[in-house]
Structure 1
Amino acid sequence: MELPPVGLGTMGIETPSTIETALEVGYRHLDTAQIYDNEEVVGDGLAASNVDRAEVIVATKVWADSLDPAAVSATTTESLDRLGLDRIDLLYVHRPINTYTPETTLSAFDDLYDAGTIGAVGLSNFTVDQLREARQQLAVPIAAHQVECHPLFWSPELLADARKHDYHLVAYSPLAGGHVREIDTVVDIAEDHETTPEAVSIAWLLAKRNVVAIPKSSSRRHLEANLDAQQLQLTDVECRQIDEIGRTLELYPE
């Protein structure tokens, strides 16, 4: 599956109008989750939009308490109802904890794919070893692996795995919860390009092969700015400077 370079992370978005605005300005990848408690908001915004449903990739995630096969099937049906859809384009295992068992959980995801209920299988917050185990269990390829990824926290090992096995690494919290504004290296590069630290962070991620980003924003101005970051070209030197920043801030540890 091909994902747009910049999609919309929706955690915390509570109004359908934000989703409608995002689609209006050009977003074509909406990412939500059962645990965000806003699938209905995303679905309502999509339904209110003039954008053709077929143009939009809608992704959601099955939470850790619902990963036994019966619960995977039942909660996916509930997600479809809340989203107002007859198919979820990309369905993730949100975290490989709690009720997650590779053999049975992933078999349930395969069944949903075979039935046409989902268009692709994704994983989220997995380690390299867990990804390897998942590949052994899944009958369909991993389409995406979603992880926290920003200048203050990212994994070269996970990026290498995405490249080796040719799936998308989907970077959530790409702006480090706003902390990119406090990183001297990022701020200096932004000043050199007469842009913002947020744009630099997104551009740095997009410069990495196989990486897409899903920043969250609610205002039209920030929604547009995050999309516009696709046009920013950083030099190899600038990218290496950001690579070398100490990875000291994990916002969402297990």
Structure 2
Amino acid sequence: MSFNSQYITLNDGNKIPQVGLGTWQNKNSEATIDCVYQAIKIGYRHIDTAAIYGNEEEVGAGIKKAIDEGIVKREDLFITTKLWGTQHRLSQQAIKQSLQRLQLDYVDLYLMHWPVALKSRTIDPSDPKNYLCIPMNPDNKSARDIDVNWTFVDTYLAMQHLKNEGLAKSIGVSNFSINNLKELFKHPLFKVKPTVNQVEIHPLLPQDELIAFCKEEGIVCEAYSPLGSTSSPILTNETLVSIAERLNIDVAQVCVSWAVQRGYVVLPKSSHVERIEKNYKNLVKLSDDDFATVNGLKEKYGEKRFVNPDFSPFKTFE
């Protein structure tokens, strides 16, 4: 059974492809353009990027190439980008800059990348990469410079207008905990529920409680780093290797298949076209026993979070 063409309906009625291409750490210009272009040729219809990735121009070029060649139409694609911390007070300006880099009139999904505002930096037209900065605290060079007078609630309330302005078809959040979401929901000016919460999810961090809460609230979870980190023990995990060998697929496809079977969106990333194709075409329905085995990996090997920032003024992940 193949899962790669499945869609999930968001709480605003828009449909999101369940398997997408993640592009974090894809910074080689020509390679990124080709990866996005080849992914669309393979069949991917969901591409995920972010301002801080520094590759929106390349992602946009890959998309444009596929559209210009008649492989797809714009409306066939679901494109996501994200608001970086230094532009929490400038969400409208930020999304317009992202759209310019992507060569698009709108994105299908615009996410707040982190629930932490960083000190804004003046946009310098002579420095097109100026938005990529990670400002450090002048009094503590090892700490990020947090904008303590601006909250993620302030940011989201402003983002609500982006949908009405036609700049984003859907809006959502990323790296939000249950407590973050509850704090957002209780604000009197909160009107547009996030469609998506993109967070780290993989067999060693299944996020059962967060997924259940989001499902109850009508929010779709998206899994970034579904294979863990670059040097992740997940890819060499003996249990997953055994399942993969028996099914004649790679561990990566076991993890992506497991994620799809759990019912959320999954964003495997790679800079190798062969792996990009396998992560889309070689997905299978796991047996009940294999599915249960993967579900039990956290208990067997312990929970492992690969993205755990220490720059937030509050505990980001409970």
TM-score range, shorter chain: over 0.9
Please give the alpha-carbon distance, in whole angstroms, between the structure 2 residues aligned to 1:59 and 1:134: 22
| Paired residues of 1:28 and 1:56 also in contact (CA < 8 A) | yes
2:273 to 220, 228, 239: 220
Please give the alpha-carbon distance, in whole angstroms, between the structure 2 residues aligned to 1:183 and 1:103: 39
| Paired residues of 1:144 and 1:170 also in contact (CA < 8 A) | yes
> Which position in structure 2 is the counterpart of 1:146?
198
Please give the alpha-carbon distance, in whole angstroms, between the structure 2 residues aligned to 1:224 and 1:179: 22
TM-score, normalised on structure 1?
Answer: 0.93
| Percent of residue pairs bearing the same amino acid type | 32
| Paired residues of 2:116 and 2:152 also in contact (CA < 8 A) | no
1:183 aligns with 2:237: yes
**Gaps in structure 2 of 5+ consecutive residues:** 1-13, 118-146, 310-318
> Which position in structure 1 is the counterpart of 2:304?
249
| Paired residues of 2:45 and 2:78 also in contact (CA < 8 A) | yes
- Alpha carbons of structure 1 residues 136 and 121: separation in structure 2 relative to 1, 3 Å: farther
| Paired residues of 1:122 and 1:145 also in contact (CA < 8 A) | yes
> Which position in structure 1 is the counterpart of 2:159?
109
| Paired residues of 1:62 and 1:72 also in contact (CA < 8 A) | yes
RMSD: 1.5
| Paired residues of 2:249 and 2:282 also in contact (CA < 8 A) | no
Please give the alpha-carbon distance, in whole angstroms, between the structure 1 residues aligned to 2:152 and 2:250: 42
> Which position in structure 2 is the counterpart of 1:95?
114
Deviations 1:75-129 (A, max 9, x none): 1111111011111110001010134524421111111111111111111001011
TM-score, normalised on structure 2?
Answer: 0.75
Q: Which has the higher mean CA deviation after the structures are superposed, 174-183 or 39-48?
A: 174-183
Please give the alpha-carbon distance, in whole angstroms, between the structure 2 residues aligned to 1:136 and 1:235: 41
1:38 to 55, 60, 63: 55
Please give the alpha-carbon distance, in whole angstroms, between the structure 1 residues aligned to 2:151 and 2:108: 23
Please give the alpha-carbon distance, in whole angstroms, between the structure 2 residues aligned to 1:164 and 1:121: 18
AA matched with 1:106: Y
> Which position in structure 2 is the counterpart of 1:172?
224
Please give the alpha-carbon distance, in whole angstroms, between the structure 2 residues aligned to 1:118 and 1:135: 21
- Tell me, what secondary structure is at the counterpart of 2:168? coil
1:162 aligns with 2:211: no
2:291 to 228, 234, 239: 239
Structure ID, larger Rg: 2
AA matched with 2:76: E
Following TM superposition, by how much is the alpha carbon of 1:58 offset from its aligned partner in structure 2, in angstroms? 0.7
Please give the alpha-carbon distance, in whole angstroms, between the structure 1 residues aligned to 2:49 and 2:16: 15
2:182 to 109, 132, 141: 132
Deviations 1:183-203 (A, max 9, x none): 111111112212211111111
**Gaps in structure 1 of 5+ consecutive residues:** none
Q: Which has the higher mean CA deviation after the structures are superposed, 36-45 or 138-147?
A: 138-147
| Paired residues of 1:124 and 1:146 also in contact (CA < 8 A) | yes
> Which position in structure 2 is the counterpart of 1:208?
262
| Paired residues of 1:96 and 1:126 also in contact (CA < 8 A) | yes
Following TM superposition, by how much is the alpha carbon of 1:38 offset from its aligned partner in structure 2, in angstroms? 0.5
| Paired residues of 2:19 and 2:265 also in contact (CA < 8 A) | yes
| Paired residues of 2:194 and 2:219 also in contact (CA < 8 A) | yes
Please give the alpha-carbon distance, in whole angstroms, between the structure 1 residues aligned to 2:153 and 2:201: 28
| Paired residues of 1:135 and 1:142 also in contact (CA < 8 A) | no
